[in-house]
Chain A
């Protein structure tokens, strides 16, 4: 059976600098992983800014072409998609969700426009009733309905609701894969869990696989099935999420793990005090 997504030795280099001081930045180095098509899962890419996680996501969506290596989606090389028809077919199966919902939606456009145009484009629907039915169906999956969204602008809704509309839009073509780049970092704490729980429902009820990109290890631990940890473009650790995040072995993963502040005043305070004691021992900085 062909895997849903297969990355094989993917590299991405950017050339930076000008005429005299040109150098190469290796944004992604030799990344390989595979998502099976018969087993939907939440696959998490963890890393700090500059670790190459967003570049990887852009390559999976076909927005960047790899310098070397291949990305195959349902057997097809993503970088080799040329015709408009093939491109649309690929986009219908792999959909993105972006970090900042306030920027993803044009503030002067009503939100239903995004849902309707996605339905027209990917499902080839013509009549207004069909388009509205499709939009309403996918809004139901995220706990909203068309009556709540119709005619609304992005400033009228909270970040959590906007992000759910972004998920509903992505669900319209019936994708097999959703690539979510930092989907909760701009969402309020009280609403964050509603997005994260929604991903779990999508996996269990609709069989959608999700690539969840984040720097937040605690939500990663909460929902992921498998995880890879990226550092400066390289995968430093990968495997079952509970094992990797519960007891990381690589030095960088351990540092990331320790950087998570526990939601407990006594333990969190102890970490800060330990940092202070270290700084005081280190020299004049604490004198």
Chain B
């Protein structure tokens, strides 16, 4: 039977997730290292769950470039054989070259989220080495059995730790936990709220030293799937940031192209460039609320355009940044 590139990618993600709990070759300590200096409790009914999406994006980029190279050279693909074998070999870790700057940015975003939550009086606990991947990508790619396996693992962690409420940090994880898990896990009874929703309820007005003007890029999974549209605007405006709207915005937002990066990199890039053009015609500072949007738009942005995550920007203008 002919092995398609698609099958290799699917197999790789499936196998890695089953073996390691993550769809990319990332070590557990790299998933939670961002939280080291924040002194979050390891136990408590309200837990911050990152689902590791911010952390795995730099790794995913690297994995994709390996697979892309493999696709271009057939011998490499043959050498690799089944994705399964590839994923389980130590080969993969040798090849993965992660951009340290990107890792640092992901970590800084996560730290900002915690600082913002603390500012509004929310002190969540954290799962550390049990901050597992939610499985959302597997779900979207139709790997339903592996997704279910992963969802059960994640749910078990929550239950063992007596979690009642989960605070999520990105639109995809929020959606999959709130809207998909209950369909697959019997008796699912956890409250799920995104940090964006929490902040928008509690954030207080604060004027920044200088006026900042940004254009907002709504992520599909907040704006269309969960009707989270006004919340990020409220957070930005409460921090004295002027929010400009692009042509396609709110429910009518247009995708960053990120979700097909692994399988159709050229298409993904074209979609991202189209969106960057539209956004940067309104402002040279683009605010994103999703690690996939952030990663994919950053990749194609021109030099004079800045793409910044909402948490990082808001924490900065509110003067919340830690020393580094």
The answer to whether A and B come from one shared complex is no
Binding site for A on B (CB under 8 A): none
